[in-house]
Amino acid sequence: MKINFTIDCTPEEARAFFGLPDLQPLHDVYLDRMKAAMTEGVTPADWQRMMQNWAPGIAGGFEQWQKLMMTGLSAAAGKTQG
């Protein structure tokens, strides 16, 4: 047995039905900032803030990759000798 339901409603109506918040004002602010960044360009201060936010993740990712490679090399060296 197969049953299908078709519900015809707008995204706003669906959001209200499920009790989800209306994020349109936040979305508008985000779009305004993105438009300003695109028209005004990215300043050196913006680059500095981005790098400060990204640097810990990049460094941590590199350290994990380095440990993984060393573990793999150690395992490979142990297999060829023994």
CA dihedral 47, 35, 38, 58 (to 10 degrees): 30
Q: What is the mean pLDDT of the chain?
A: 83
User: In this predicted model, what pLDDT tens digit does every residue of 16-49 receive, in sequence order?
Assistant: 999 999 999 999 999 998 888 878 877 778 778 8
- On whether the pTM is more than 0.75, the answer is no
User: Is 44 in a helix, a strand, or coil?
Assistant: helix
| pLDDT for 74 | 84
- Give every CB contact of residue 21 below 8 A, 6+ residues apart in sequence: 15
What are the sequence ranges of the domains in the chain?
9-41, 44-82
Decide if pLDDT at 82 tops 50: no
